[in-house]
Amino acid sequence: MMYDYFHRTELDETFYTEHLQPRLPREMIDAHAHFNLPEHVSHITKETIAGDWALECGLLMSYEDACAYYRTLFPDTVVYMTALPWPLREANTIGNNNYISRISEYPHLRGLMTIRPEYSLSMIEQAFTEGGFSGFKPYPYMASTVKGADVSIFDFMTHEQFALANRLRVPVLMHLPRAGRLPAPENVSEIRTILERYPNVKLVIAHFGRCFNVEYFEQALDALGEDIHRVWFDTAAVLNPAVHRLTFQELDYHKILFGTDFPILLWHGKREWKNGTYTNLCRENFSWNKHLYPEDESNYTFFVYEQIKHMLDIIGDDEEKKRAVFFGNAKEVYFDTQRGGVQA
């Protein structure tokens, strides 16, 4: 069931026609979207949803709903999908993985398999191979229900599981833990450990390492040094134009993958950034929405439209770079990977 708050207004149509349609590639891959059915998240408690603003506005998305969202938002573009299960510990991970496997039979979709640290290697390899997945999606919530918890990457994807991914030569989409985000010293150390011990893993860092504020990425450039060029990043949920400018300036654009984080960000709004935090400005009446500027809300377009405009403004007329970021890079990482992995 599509969210009833999702609708494309005349303002959205005008914004799309003026700022996006002439510049968007005719093919695009969303490298970060969560797919599930109600039965996969039926045990997620009201307390869990209340503790994370993102869950309230985007807990469900079937394949059919996703197709409808993309057709509405991007009527002139063919959208391919990289499908992630809903990675909460309370979710039915096995059922959700099975659903992702099933929809991965569509040629325009690739699925990532969510793993839990307690899963055995034999179970993971069998499910991954038989399910036709194109990568792994571990998640910090599998080690702690606290957002940004001070846990190790290896608490939610073990060294043995990384070794399996290395043998299978598949990508791993990593959502980083810790309040310090990408430049946290422990995250930097563990990223380097992954790069050195598991060189066959294509390590993709979600949300630019949760660098929604530019100062975090500035710190990460210093902390990681040349190693920052050995990983990929996706843009999911990152709206900050200062982050986009810095990342396109400092990174090889072949390492940047466009992603939306749907169904979380299907609403109309913007963001403000201050002192290492951000505030969502939104038209829709979610419980977390403080309606700070009600007089401006009628002028808000889709969050994802704002994100894409910022990216296109920075890329400019470079068609090769545009196609790489919005299509080619994700194709190389996820779509050109043999489904179910390949033996080394």
Q: Report whether pLDDT(129) > 50.
A: yes
Question: Exposure string (b/e) for 127-164, b if CB count within 10 Å is 16 or more?
Answer: bbeebbbbbbbbbbbbbebeeeeebbbbebbbeebbeb
* Omega before 199 within 30 of 0, i.e. cis: no
The SS3 call for residue 65 is helix
Q: What is the mean pLDDT of residues 29-36?
A: 98
| pLDDT tens sequence across 99-127 | 999 999 999 999 999 999 999 999 999 99
Residue 245 class from Cβ within 10 Å (0-12 exposed, 13-18 middle, 19+ buried)?
middle
Provide the whole-model pTM.
Answer: 0.96
pLDDT tier, 342 (very low <50, low <70, confident <90, very high otherwise): low
Could you name the CATH architecture of 10-335? Answer: Alpha-Beta Barrel (3.20)
Report residue 48 as tokens: 């869990």
Q: What is the mean pLDDT of residues 248-277?
A: 97
Report residue 252 as tokens: 């090889």
In the chain, domain spans: 10-335
Rounded to whole angstroms, the Cα distance separating 155 from 117 reads 7
| Cα distances (angstroms) measured from residue 290 to each of 92, 240, 280, 287, 341 | 32, 20, 9, 8, 46
pLDDT tier, 147 (very low <50, low <70, confident <90, very high otherwise): confident
Rounded to whole angstroms, the Cα distance separating 253 from 311 reads 12
Strand stretches in the chain, DSSP E: 27-34, 78-84, 109-113, 135-136, 171-174, 202-205, 232-234, 256-257, 269-274, 277-282
Rounded to whole angstroms, the Cα distance separating 217 from 36 reads 31
Of the chain, the end-to-end C-alpha distance in Å amounts to 42
| pLDDT tens sequence across 197-218 | 999 999 999 999 999 999 999 9
Q: Report whether pLDDT(22) > 80.
A: yes
DSSP result, 232-258: EEE-TT---HHHHHHHHHHS-GGGEE-
Rounded to whole angstroms, the Cα distance separating 308 from 30 reads 12
